[in-house]
Structure 1
Amino acid sequence: MRAVSDVRGWGVARRVVSSVGLALGLLQASAPACAVPSFDEVRQDWRASDWILLDRRGEPLQRLRADMQAQRGDWVTLAEVSPAFRQALIASEDKRFYEHSGVDWRGVAAAAWGNLWHSRTRGASTLTMQLAGLLDDDLRPSTRNRSVTQKIGQAATAVWLEQRWRKDQILEAYLNLVPFRGELVGISAVSQTLFGKLPIGLDAREAALAVALLRAPNAAASRVSQRACGILRDMGQATDCNGLDGYAQLVFSRPANVMTTRDAVNLAPHFARRVFSASRPPAGTRITSTLDANLQRVAVTTLQQTLRELGTPGRSRNVQDGAIVVIDNASGDILAWVGSSGALSSAAQVDGVTSLRQAGSTLKPFLYAQAIAEQRLTAASLLDDSPIDLPTGGGLYIPQNYDRHFKGWVSARTALGSSLNVPAVRTLVMVTPRRFARTLVALGLPLTQSGDYYGYSLALGSADVTLLSLTNAYRALANGGAASGVKERTSETVRTRGDNAKGTARAEGYTAVFSPQVSFIVSDMLADRQARTRTLGLDSPLSTRYWTAVKTGTSKDMRDNWAVGYSRRYTVGIWVGNADGAPMWDVSGVSGAAPIWHRVMDYLHRQTASLPPAPPPGLEHVAVQYAEHVEPTREEWFLPGTSQSTIALSSLATKAPGGPLWRIAGPADGTIVALDPDIPPANQRLWFQVAAAWPKGAAWRLDGKPLVGRARTGWLPWPGRHTLELVDAAGVVRDSIRFEVRGATLTDGKRMRNASR
C-alpha cells in the first residue's frame, strides 16, 4: 500500500508541475507569436475550395469543386452567422470567451485541479487558443492530445491575438477556419452541406449538432446527438432534444460533398466547366462571364417546362433533353448557355450546346444565300417541288418533303419559308455540295468532310453541327453576313471562341461570308410568315409580335429538332432531342424547339423593341407578278441587275409543248439502274412518275410500246437501254427520258418480263 501511495503522490506532483509550468511558460513564449498574421491578412488569404462563375453583373451562377483536399465555402462574416450558433459555440467551447484575454485562467485552474483528482473536465483550451492552432501548423496537434510545447505556444499566441484582434474578429476567423466533419471546413461548408441553408438560418438544434462535431468530427450520429443535447441544455433549450437522435441520423446520411443552398447555385454547370477547364485557375478564383443570370434562369425553366409538357401522361413524346444558347449580335457575348434539361435528363452531364448533331433543315438559309450571291437564284425565282431522282455513287438519291406532299412550282421565298426539301436539293445541284461545304466552314460550322462526302443530302442537313456553331452562323446573317467568334468572359482575359472545322479557336475580328445585301434578302425571307403558310400556316410558334427571322429543322427519324433565329439584337438557338440519340415520337422543330425559342425571345424583348432592319444600299425593290397565278403578286428584293417584274411559268416549260405538267419527274434522264440478283425481281420495281397531276389524255410509252399506268407507275426492270415517253391523246411525245438497267441474268430477265405482263 505504501508503494502505491508513493506512485500516486509522484503522479500528483507531476501534474501540478505541468500546470505551473504552463503558466510560467506563457511569460517566455512571445517570440513565436510575432509571426501570426493580422485579421485582414487571414481574410484576404482565404480561398474557397470552389471555382465561382459570376454573371455579367457579378451574381454567382455556378460553383465547381477545385480543391479536393477540403471543402470550404465563401468567407462568412460574424453578422452572417445565426445568434443560435454563436450561443451554442460559446456555451460548448468557451463560456468565458468575452471575459478572458486569450487564456481562461479559471479554466486552467479547474483543469489542473481536475488533473490532481483524475476527474473529467472540459479542458482549458479557449476559442482563441484553438484559433492559434488553426493559424500556425506548428501549434496544431497531430493527434487528439497536444504536447506541453503546443499548449504553451497556443496560449502565448492567444494572448498575442487578444492584444491585436477584436473579439468579433477572433470569433469570425475561428468560424471560417475550424474543421467540422470529414472534409468540411468552416461554418459555410458545414451549414450548406449538412443542413441545406446559409449560416444565418441555423436554428438552435442545427447549431448544437454542428458545434458538437468540433469535439468529435467523425463520431457516429448517436454520439453527436447525445453531445448536442447537452449543448442545448446549456443553452436552456432542453426541449429541442426531443427527436434529436433521429434528426441527426437524417442529417449525417446526406452526401458530404454537395452544397444544396442558394449560395451553391447550379445555373450553368456546362458553361462553367468549359470556362474553367481552359485555364484551370486556383481554387477560390472568381471569373466574371458574359452570361445574364436572370436570362439563364428563364432559359432553364422554359426548357424544363416545355419538356414536361411534351412528356405528360397520355402524350409522351419520348423526349428528355434539350439545350439553349443566346448570343448578343453586336458583341458576340454569350448571354445564356443551357447544356441539358438537368434532372429530366438521364445524361445531364452531356453538354447539348457543344454536342454534334445532324443539322436538318437549319442549313437551308445558307444554301439559298449562296445561290442568291452567285446569282443563280433570286427570292422570286421559281423552283420545281416535284419528285426527283438524283444518281449518286451509291445509287439514286430521292429526297422527300417533310409532309410527303409536293407543291409544284414555288418561289425560292416560299421554298425556304415552308422548308421544302426538293427545291433545296435542286438549289444545291446548282451551287454544288463542294462549294456549299466551303461556305459552311467559313461560317464556323464544324464540317469534318468535304462537300462530296455529304453529297446532295447536305441541302437537308446531313452534316453534324453543334448548337453553338449553328447559332453563331445565324448570327452572321443578323450581322450582314459577317462571321466572328463568341465571347464567354468579360474580364481582361476574354477569349473569343468558335467551332470551326478543326475545332480550334477563331481569330478575333469579322470574316465577310455573305454581303449585307444577300443577308438582308435571306433575313427577309426567314421573317416572312406568309412564306411559311404552305407548311406551317399563319399561326405558329415562329410568329412573333416583333421582327424576327427564324428557321426550324428536324433530322432523320426525328432524332434532333432545332429552332434557330434572330432579332435585331439577339440570336437564339434551341435543340431538343435525346442525349443518347434515341428518336422522338412525333416531335418536330415546330412542336419541340420552336415554343422554347418563342418564349425565350419574348423574354428578351419584353422591354426591347425589334424593328425590321433597314435595307442596305444597292438593293432593288420591285413589284413582281407571276403568270398563271403560280404565286400572288408582291414586292420583292433583288440584287442589282437581277430584278424581274414578270415571271412566267412558260419560260420554265420542258422541251415539248404543253407546259411543265407534261414532264417526266422520275427517273432522271440518264439514270443507270443496278439490279441485285439476291433480291427477288418483283421487289425491284422502277417507278415512273410525272411532275404534277396526271394530264388529261396522257399515256406512257416504253421503247415504243404502250405501258399501262398513270401518274406513278411501277415497272419490273428489263436489262438493257430503254426510252420512256410521255405522250398525249394524239400520240404526240411531250417528254422523254433514257435510262439503262444493268445487273440481271437472262433467267432473271425472263422472270422479270413475265412478271411485267
Structure 2
Amino acid sequence: MKTEQHAPRSSNEKEIPVVSTSADEQKATHRTITPAKLPANSRAAAAQRLNDIPPEPVRGVYYEATHHREHPQGWHFKRHLKRKNLRLSNMRYLQTDQKGTRWGIMPIALSTLAALVVLASVLVAYTALNGATQQRYGQDVTTLQDILPKDNVKLYDSKGTLIYQAIDQGLQTTVPLSKISKHLQNAEIAIEDQNFWNNPGYDITGIVRAALSDLTTKQVVSGASTITQQLIKNAIVGDQVTATRKLQEIILAPDVTRHYTKEQILEMYLNTIYYGEQAYGANAAAFTYFNLHDTATQTAAQQLDIAQAAMLAGIPSSPIARDPYLHPKAAQARVEEVLKQMYLQGYITAAERAKAIDEVKQPNFLKRGTIKNTAAPHFVHYALNELAQELHVKVKDLSRSGLIVSTTLDQQLQNQVLKIAQNHIAKMAKVHNMSNAAVVIIDHRNGAIRTLQGNIDPNNPNDGAFDVASQGFRQPGSAFKPFIYATAFDHGISPGTPVLDGPLTIQMCCGLPSYTPQNYDQSFHGLITYRYALQNSFNIPAVKLLMQTGIDPAMKTATDMGITKYEGTPNYTLVLGSLSVHLLDMTAAFGTFATGGIRIPPHAIDTVKDTTGKTIFHFQPIGQRVLSKQAAFMITDVLSDNTSRTFEFGKCSVLYLYSTTQQQCYAGKPGPIRPAAVKTGTSNDFRDNWTVGYTTNYVVGVWAGNNDNEAMKDVTGVDGAAPIWHDSILLAEKGNPIAPFPPPPSGIVKKTVSYPGLTTTDWYKATK
C-alpha cells in the first residue's frame, strides 16, 4: 500500500474534516486545508485570530497564572504624581531656606518687639492705675466703716418706742454680725463668693471666667465680683460698668482684706447691700419681705430661717429682675439655685433643702412690712426741723444720716389727749360750728414738749397735715393779757392797785380814728383791782395798764418770754390779743411764769446718737431770766385765784382742777384741789378760742376753732378750749403728788392798802 506523503503543515494550518455523502468519500482520508495568507492588519486576519483565544478554564482547576495584580489599579500613576509633588516641595523648601537667611529673622524680631512693647505698656498702665487708685481711694479704705451708707434716721419717744423713721431714701438698720441669721450669712457666701473665707478679696478663677464672657459678648456682662469687691463698689469706687472700675476693685480688695477681718467685711456687706424694695441691709430686708420686727432679744435679721435667707440672698445680684413681688418666677428659680449651692457646699442637708423649697412655694411665704409714720406726725415734723437746726443741716439731709434720736414725746399721753380733743370737738361741732383743736403740753421745768397735737384729724388728706400748734398763726384774745400785766407788775404796780373800769377813748395820731375799747360783756364795772380785772378778762382796765407800761416794753416782755414770731402790728389792741401767734409759743411763754421768770426754750429733741452709740447731741436746759421772780409770782398768784374769777366763770368752772365731778364741786365736795394758773382768750367774731395754764409740773395750751378760720357760734372761753385743757392737764399730772406753787420770793410783801373808794390786800414789791 502506497503511503501518501504530505507536506509539513504550518502552525496556521488546520485539519478540516470533509464530510462525504457518498460511500466512496467516507472511505477517503482527511485533507489538509491551508488558510489563505491575509494582511496582518486586515479585518479578516483579525477575525481569524479570534480562534487563537484559549477557551475559558473550567472552574476548580488550578492554573499556574497570577490571579491578583501586584499593585492596585492607578498605583503607578499616583506614584508618578507623588514623585512630582515631592520634587516641587523640595524646590519650595530650598527656596524658603534661601530666603530665610535674609528675610525670616526680621518678622520674628519685629513680632517679639511688638509683644514686649504691648506688655510693657500694660505694665505701665497698670502701675499708673494702681498708683492713681491708691492715691484717690487709699484713705477711704482705712475709713471704710465711716463712709458706708448710713441708716435712715429714726425717732423714738421718751419711753423708747419708735415713732418715725425716714423712708424717702430707703430703709437701713445696722446690726452686729452676731445679730444676723447664720443662714443668711451662709446663703450670701454660697451664691456670691464661695471662697470668701480664703480669698484675698478677689477670685482669679471668677475673673478669668467673667473676662471670657465679656470678650465673647464684646461688653461687660459678667462681674465675678467677690463680696469684698461688691463692698468696695458700693462704698468707694461707685457702680459704673467699666473695666477701669473693675480693676480698681481688684486693686483695693487686698487692702480692705488687710485692714479688716473677714467678719467685719461680711458685717459691712450685709448691713449695706441693696435688697430691692428700698431695703438696704439684712435687717431692713427681713422687715420688708417678711414683716419681721426687732424684739427685746432678737433683731429682725436674726429671725430669718433657711428659706427666707435663700430668698434674700438671691436678690442683690439683680434687685429688680429677682424682686419676689414683681417677678415671683424668677425669684423662685433663684431661691432654688441658692439652696442648691448651700447644699453642695455643705451648709444645709438635703432634707433642709427640700423643706425650704416647699416653704418658699407656700402662698403666705412673703409678708410685706409697711412703715407707719402716723403716730405723731405734727410732733415729728417739728422735731425734724429742730434737729436740722441743732445740727446745722437741711431736713432732707437727715434721711440717711444714721442718727438715732430720742425725743421728749410721751406718745401714750399724746394719744389720750387726742381722744379728749376729738370727743370734745364732736360735741361742739354742730351747735357751735367748731371743727378742730390743737394741744401742747410742756414740762416747764426743762422745756420738754410732751405733747404736740396740731390737728385732731392728722391723717385727713385735705388739711390734716397742717399743724396749727407750731405753724398756724391765731389771735389769742385775752390770753395775751398776762404779758402786759407782768410788765406792769415788774415796774412796781400791784395786783391790788385799783383801776376804774369805765368808758375810754384813745386819740390816735397821724389822722387815724380814735380807739374806744369795750368789755366782753359790754358793761362797765367801776373801781376794781387789777387782779379782779385780769381774772375776769375785762378789756378796758388792760388797755389802761398798757398805756402806763408802753407798747414796746410790753412786747419786749412777750418776746423775751417766748413769743418768737407773730403777725400784725403792735398797738393798743395787742392787749386784747390782736396779734396772731403760735400756740406752741404761747404755751412755752406761760411756762416762763411757772419757772419764776426763767425762760427755758421748748424742745422736742433730747438725745442724738449714731449707730455705734456715740452721743452726738444732748439737750441741756439752760434757763435765762427774762422776768423778775416777783412779777412771775404775782401773775401765778392772780391766775390761780379761783375766787377772783368766779364773777365771770363760776365757782366750779373747768379752770378749777377739782378731783370730783362738777356737780359734786358745786355741792361743796370738790375733793383735793390741784393748784393751777390759767387764762382763757377769745378772738373777735369767735374765730379762735384759747386756754393756757400751768401747774407745778406742766404747762398746757389749747386752741379750738376751724382750720379755715371760720367764725364759731357763741363760744365762750370756758366752753371751747377750756374743757380740753382741764382733762389734758389732769391726765398729764395723773399719779403726781399735788404740790402748791412755790412760796413768795424775797422782795415782795403782802399788805393791805386803802385807796379812795377801795381797800385791798395784795402783793406788792418791797421798796428799799
Please confirm whether the aligned pair reaches a TM-score higher than 0.5, indicating the same fold: yes
Q: In the alignment, which of 414, 423, 441 is matched to residue 300 of structure 1?
A: 414
Q: Would you say the 8 A contact 1:563–1:589 is kept in 2?
A: yes
Q: Equivalences for 1:33-72 in 2 at 5 Å?
A: 41-48=143-150, 50=152, 71=170
Q: Which amino acid aligns with 1:270?
A: Y
Q: Which residue in 2 is equivalent to 1:269?
A: 381
Q: Which amino acid aligns with 1:418?
A: N
SS at match of 1:534: helix
Q: Which residue in 1 is equivalent to 2:581?
A: 465
Q: Which residue in 2 is equivalent to 1:134?
A: 234
Q: Would you say the 8 A contact 1:47–1:74 is kept in 2?
A: no
Q: Which residue in 2 is equivalent to 1:399?
A: 518
Q: Percent identity?
A: 25
Q: Does 1:310 align with 2:417?
A: no
Q: Does 1:224 align with 2:327?
A: yes
Q: Would you say the 8 A contact 2:499–2:541 is kept in 1?
A: no
Q: Which residue in 2 is equivalent to 1:363?
A: 480
Q: Does 1:637 align with 2:748?
A: no
* CA apart distance, 1:524: 0.7
Q: Which amino acid aligns with 1:343?
A: N
* CA apart distance, 1:553: 1.9
**Worse-matched range after superposition: 71-80 or 579-588:** 579-588
State the alpha-carbon separation in 2 of the partners of residues 371 and 517 from structure 1.
12
Q: In the alignment, which of 678, 681, 684 is matched to residue 550 of structure 1?
A: 678
Q: Equivalences for 1:588-627 in 2 at 5 Å?
A: 589-598=717-726, 599-600=728-729, 602-603=731-732, 606-607=735-736, 610-622=739-751
Q: Which residue in 1 is equivalent to 2:440?
A: 324
TM-score, normalised relative to structure 2? 0.59
* CA apart distance, 1:105: 8.5
Q: Does 1:417 align with 2:554?
A: no
Q: Would you say the 8 A contact 2:164–2:380 is kept in 1?
A: yes
Q: Would you say the 8 A contact 2:165–2:373 is kept in 1?
A: no
State the Cα deviation string for residues 542-593 of structure 1 (Å, max 9, x = none).
3344333221222233333333233345544343444543445666554554
Q: Would you say the 8 A contact 1:216–1:224 is kept in 2?
A: no
Name the CA shift for 1:93/1:587 in 2 (closer, same or farther; >3 Å): farther
Name the CA shift for 1:226/1:277 in 2 (closer, same or farther; >3 Å): farther
* CA apart distance, 1:356: 2.7
State the Cα deviation string for residues 611-663 of structure 1 (Å, max 9, x = none).
322112343434689999x9xx9964344589xxxxxxxxxxxxxxxxxxxxx
Q: Which residue in 1 is equivalent to 2:709?
A: 581
Q: Does 1:172 align with 2:267?
A: yes
Q: Which residue in 2 is equivalent to 1:665?
A: none
Q: Would you say the 8 A contact 2:496–2:761 is kept in 1?
A: no
Name the CA shift for 1:463/1:196 in 2 (closer, same or farther; >3 Å): farther
Name the CA shift for 1:440/1:134 in 2 (closer, same or farther; >3 Å): closer
State the alpha-carbon separation in 1 of the partners of residues 450 and 410 from structure 2.
8
Q: Does 1:181 align with 2:276?
A: yes
* CA apart distance, 1:184: 5.1
* CA apart distance, 1:526: 0.6
Name the CA shift for 1:635/1:596 in 2 (closer, same or farther; >3 Å): same
Q: Equivalences for 1:143-222 in 2 at 5 Å?
A: 143=241, 147=243, 165-181=260-276, 185-190=280-285, 198=293, 200-201=299-300, 210-219=312-321
TM-score, normalised relative to structure 1? 0.60
Q: Which amino acid aligns with 1:230?
A: A
* CA apart distance, 1:270: 1.4
Q: Which amino acid aligns with 1:542?
A: L
Q: Which residue in 2 is equivalent to 1:238?
A: 357
Name the CA shift for 1:322/1:487 in 2 (closer, same or farther; >3 Å): closer
Q: In the alignment, which of 638, 643, 651 is matched to residue 530 of structure 1?
A: 643
State the alpha-carbon separation in 1 of the partners of residues 687 and 635 from structure 2.
27
Q: Which residue in 2 is equivalent to 1:519?
A: 632
Q: Which amino acid aligns with 1:271?
A: A
State the alpha-carbon separation in 2 of the partners of residues 313 and 615 from structure 1.
41
Name the CA shift for 1:57/1:588 in 2 (closer, same or farther; >3 Å): same
Name the CA shift for 1:166/1:493 in 2 (closer, same or farther; >3 Å): closer
State the Cα deviation string for residues 437-493 of structure 1 (Å, max 9, x = none).
455455453467665xx33x3332112223344334323433444557667777998
State the alpha-carbon separation in 2 of the partners of residues 496 and 127 from structure 1.
44
Q: Which amino acid aligns with 2:415?
A: T
State the alpha-carbon separation in 2 of the partners of residues 434 and 142 from structure 1.
63
Structure 1 unpaired stretches of 5+: 1-24, 498-507, 643-757
The structure that has the greater radius of gyration is 2
Q: Would you say the 8 A contact 1:382–1:412 is kept in 2?
A: yes
* CA apart distance, 1:88: 5.3
State the alpha-carbon separation in 1 of the partners of residues 378 and 177 from structure 2.
26
State the alpha-carbon separation in 2 of the partners of residues 114 and 374 from structure 1.
89
* CA apart distance, 1:322: 1.8
After superposition, the CA RMSD in angstroms is 5.4
State the alpha-carbon separation in 2 of the partners of residues 170 and 566 from structure 1.
55
Q: Which residue in 2 is equivalent to 1:724?
A: none
Name the CA shift for 1:590/1:97 in 2 (closer, same or farther; >3 Å): farther
Structure 2 unpaired stretches of 5+: 1-122, 340-352, 608-615, 658-672
SS at match of 1:173: helix
State the alpha-carbon separation in 1 of the partners of residues 413 and 240 from structure 2.
50
